[in-house]
Structure 1
Amino acid sequence: MIKLRSMRFSRSSSKLGNGHKATPPIEKDCRSIGEIQWELRPGGMLVQKRKSNQSAGEGMITIIVSTMSQSQEISIEATSTFGELKMILSLVTSFEPREQRLLFKGKERDDDEYLHMVGVREKDKVLLLEDPAIKEKKLLGLRDQPINNPSRAISV
C-alpha cells in the first residue's frame, strides 16, 4: 500500500522558493486566548460556543405569555421547545398542553420547534390560545352528560 501526502500541507520553510522564511505559529498567543470550545446546535450544526456575560443564568430568557384576559412572565431556557413551554404553561394555566395553541410572530408554532431557532428573545411576547376543536369537544361532552335534576328524572 502506498501512502501519498499532499505537498500543500507538508511544506517546510526551507522549501519555499522565494527566499522568505515562513513565520512560525505563535504558540504564546494561542495559549493566552485559550482553547476554543464547540457546541452542537439543535439543527446538528457544530459551531464555536459564544461567550456570555451571564454566568449563573446562562441561556435563560423571560418571555411574556399573553392570553385574552391576562399575561404572565415565564423564565425558560432559550434552547427549549414550544412543547416544553406548553408543559410549563399547563402548571400556570388551566389548559393542558394538548389544549394549547402558541402563536409567535403571527404563526402557530409546533411542539418540536426550538424557541431560539424561531427567534424568541428576552421579553418577546407569545400568544396562548385555547384550541377551538378541544373547546368544542368539551362543550359537546358537557351537553351529553346527564343532569342531576330530580324534576327531570324518569320513573319506571
Structure 2
Amino acid sequence: MNTNKMFGMKNKDGGCSEGAGLEFRPGGMLVQKRSSDSNQNSASVPTIKVRVKYGSSYHEVNISSQASFGDLKKMLAGQTGLHHQDQKIFYKDKERDSKSFLDYVGVKKGSKLVLIEDEISKERRSIESRKNSRMEQASKDIAAIRSEVDTSAKQVARVEMDINGGKKVLETAILKLTEHLMNQLIKLDGISADGDVKLQRKMQVTRVQKYIETLDMLKIKNSMMGINRDNNKFPTRHQHPQVFTGEMPIYNQDKPDQRDLPGTNSRPVLVTTKWETF
C-alpha cells in the first residue's frame, strides 16, 4: 500500500508526495520527521509535563515531547543532585536507554516515570575519578622532578666542560651530583602511571640514567688527571740514583798502619771526598 495515499499527502499536481515531513523509526513506526534546522519553529514541537518518582519524592519536569531520555536525565540531575550517568529511568516497568526518545516509547503529558540510582555506574565512575586524580598528581610529581633534572643537567654540563678542559674537579662535587640524580631516579620509580603520564615518566628515567653514566665516566677521567700530571714531571736532583755519596777514609802512607798497633789511642787521619753526580 502506498503510504502517501494512506496519509493523504498530495503535491501541487494532486499527486502524493513521498515522505513529506515523515520518517520511519526503528520498529517500522512512521512519525513526523525531525529537523536538525536550528531555525525550525519550536512551537510545532509540544512541551509535555511528566512526573518522575525518585525515592519518596516526585519531580515534575517540563520537557519537549521529542527529547531523549538522556536529555531528561540531565534535567533531573539538577533537581535530584544525582549525576546523569548514575541514573536509571523506568517507564512502564522497563528501563529506557538514554538514546531513546520519549515520544517513541509513548511518553506523553502526565506520564509517570521512576528514577533510581545506578550503583554499578556510580562505582565505576568513582573508580575512574580516583584514577584521573592519581594521574593528575603523578603528572605534577613528574613535572617537579623534570625541573630538578633540568637543573642537574646544567651542573653536569659544567663539570664536563671543566674536566674536558683539563681542570681537575673535586671528587666530592661529582659524588654529590650523582647522589642527587639517584634520588630523582628513586622518586620516579615510585610513581605509578598509565598512558601519556607513563610515557613522561619513562622519558625522565632515561634522562637521569644518561646523566649518571656521564658522571661515572667523568669521575674516572678526573681521577686519572692527577696521575698523568705526575708522570709528565721532570725528575729532580734528589730523585736521581746516587752513584756514591759516602765518605772514603784515606790513611797517611808515611806512617805505619796505626790500626794494627796495640794500645795506641791516636785515630787515623781521614780525608773525605764528595763525588759529584753526573
Which category describes the TM-score, using the shorter chain as reference length? Answer: 0.5 to 0.7
Task: Report SS of the residue matched to 1:66.
Answer: strand
TM-score normalised according to structure 2 size: 0.32
**Match for residue 43 of structure 1?**
25
1:58/1:137 CA distance change after superposition, 3 Å:
closer
In 2: Cα distance, 1:114 partner to 1:42 partner: 13
**Match for residue 72 of structure 2?**
85
TM-score normalised according to structure 1 size: 0.54
In 2: Cα distance, 1:85 partner to 1:75 partner: 9
Structure 2 contact 86–121 (Cα < 8 Å) conserved: yes
RMSD over aligned Cα, in angstroms? 3.5
Q: Identify, as 1 or 2, the structure richer in helix.
A: 2
**Match for residue 113 of structure 1?**
100
Structure 2 contact 89–95 (Cα < 8 Å) conserved: yes
Structure 2 contact 45–65 (Cα < 8 Å) conserved: no
Aligned sequence identity (%): 34
* Structure number with bigger Rg: 2
Match for residue 66 of structure 1 among 35, 46, 53: 53
Q: Which has the higher contact order (CA 8 A, sep 6+)?
A: 1
1:56 positional shift: 4.6
Unaligned runs of 5+ in 1: 1-29, 50-54, 141-156
1:102 positional shift: 0.3
2:106 aligned with 1:124: no
In 1: Cα distance, 2:95 partner to 2:32 partner: 31
1:47/1:56 CA distance change after superposition, 3 Å:
closer
Structure 1 contact 63–123 (Cα < 8 Å) conserved: yes
